[in-house]
Amino acid sequence: MKVSLKDVAERAGVSIKTVSNVVNDYPHVTPAMRARVQTAIDELGYRPNLTARHLRKGRTGIIALALPELGNPYFAELAGAVIDAAAQHDYTVLLDHTRGKREQEVLVSQGFRARVIDGLILSPLELETEDLRSRTDDPPLVLLGERRYDLPYDHIAIDNIAAARTAVRHLLDLGRRRIAFLGSRQDRSHEPAHLRLLGWRAELADYGVTADEDLVVFAEGWGREDGAAAMARLLDEGKRPDAVFAYNDLIAIGAMRVMSERGLRVPEDVAVVGFDDLTESRFGAVSLSTIAPDKQAIARLAVESVVARLGGGDAAENGAGRTPRHLQPGFELVARESTLGPAALPDAARHRAVRP
């Protein structure tokens, strides 16, 4: 039979109210009493009714996470991290798929699920500032990604320019000079690809190497096939680089496939660095060096921001009137075989994480 608060109270020899105070983590309970009640909870296997708890607070216990591409392993891994972080606060995550389309991002951001969610974490690609100006604060919104909005919403993103510079510096320190950038996006100055291209240019300039814009290859998408097409185009035009910095791991993997088909060795002929540190990057015939965003920190900060906006958490300021924050989780360069060669052990050469 289901264990109730009354059962726990009888086992502990306390009132039902005391058990409720412990379960709801109210501060005004002595350590001895808390331990006594917790022992009874553990012995009986009591599990609180989270739905009832949220309903008492006028909430649903659900946070929505809206992502542009669920088929992209990076977003899949990020979603898993958000689900784990939300569970720490007794929240369930509802996934939404915007496909990176403005009309869908507007629909999600305007709260069309407002009656069933307590908060929204949104990673937009096409959403414009004017799309958010008429939005109310209900439910609370937290933004992920590099697009900045001059509006009162918490925003979480790594420093893409610094991350790109770290990748390029690694290649330069290895003696590479003709470093291509695969995955630039035309007319998308607000996207992370543009910021990573800026980092590519800045690091080359600081190192005293002239940036060869002929080695910048545009791509329409983010997938392996886009990386393969970009690398094939570069080689077909006779512009062989000695290194590649790819917008993401998938583009890097596609590019390495083409190199293999053309008889080029990685890293002997062309060294490669990706971005995202996907799980599959460790398991190719040549393991991929990559920039690893702290996905766990991104997820944790996003969930904590929503909880703080709802008036919970340990933040000194919380609730709807809380000052919006721009948070930068850390990243690190993980150097593997695609830059260090066969002698490199997976994850053996991790550079210091860059923190805000």
Provide the total of helices (H) and of strands (E) in the chain, helices listed first: 13, 13
The model's confidence at residue 21, banded by pLDDT at 50, 70 and 90, is confident
pLDDT of residue 311: 78
Contact 281, 253 (CB under 8 A): yes
- Residue 58 and residue 75: Cα distance in Å, rounded? 30
Res 310: pLDDT: 86
Write down the pLDDT at residue 57.
57
- CATH 3.40.50.2300 in the chain, residue ranges: 60-157+295-324, 160-293+331-350
60-157+295-324 belongs to which homologous superfamily? Response regulator (3.40.50.2300)
Which residues touch 157 (CB under 8 Å, ≥6 apart)? 144, 145, 146, 326, 327, 328, 329
CA distance 37 to 35: 6
Residue type, 156: I
**Nearest by Cα to 341 from 233, 230, 285, 267:** 267
Q: What is the pLDDT of residue 352?
A: 42
Q: What value does the mean pLDDT take over residues 148-164? A: 90
* pLDDT of residue 114 exceeding 70: no
pLDDT number for residue 356: 36
Q: 267 preceded by cis ω (within 30°)? A: yes
Task: Look up the CATH number of domain 160-293+331-350.
Answer: 3.40.50.2300
Read off the pLDDT band of 56 (50, 70, 90). low
Residue-level pLDDT at 242: 97
Residue 68: pLDDT over 80: yes
Res 90 pLDDT > 80: yes
Tell me the torsion sign for CA atoms 66, 71, 75, 79: positive
Residue 83 confidence (pLDDT) above 50: yes
Q: Give yes or no for residue 275 having a pLDDT over 80.
A: yes
Q: What architecture is the 1-35 domain classified under in CATH?
A: Orthogonal Bundle (1.10)
**Whole-number average pLDDT of the chain:** 87
> What is the C-alpha to C-alpha distance for residues 10 and 265, in angstroms, rounded to an integer?
71
pLDDT above 70 covers what percent of the chain? 87
Most confident range (mean pLDDT) of 4-8, 148-152, 200-204 is: 200-204
Q: Which among 4-18, 114-128, 222-236 has the top mean pLDDT?
A: 222-236
| Residue that is written with structure tokens 């996207």 in the block | 191
**What percent of the chain is modeled with pLDDT above 90?**
57
Please, which pLDDT band fits residue 315 given cuts at 50, 70 and 90?
A: very low
Residues of the chain with CATH 1.10.260.40: 1-35
- The verdict on whether omega for the bond into residue 139 sits within 30 degrees of 0, i.e. cis, is yes
pLDDT band at 302 (very low <50, low <70, confident <90, very high): very high
> Residue 321 above 60 pLDDT?
no
Rounded to an integer, what distance in angstroms lies between the CA atom of residue 231 and that of residue 183?
10
For residue 6, what pLDDT band results from cuts at 50, 70 and 90? confident
- Please give the residue that has the higher pLDDT: either 60 or 125: 125
Residue 336 has pLDDT above 50, yes or no: yes
Pairwise CA distance, residues 191 & 185, whole Å: 8
Asked if residue 316 has pLDDT above 50, the reply is no
In the predicted structure, residue 170 carries a pLDDT above the cut 90: yes
Q: pLDDT value at position 51?
A: 54
Contact of 245 with 181, CB cutoff 8 Å: yes
pLDDT (tens digit per residue) in 280-301: 999 989 999 999 999 999 999 9
Q: Which residue has the higher pLDDT, 90 or 322?
A: 90
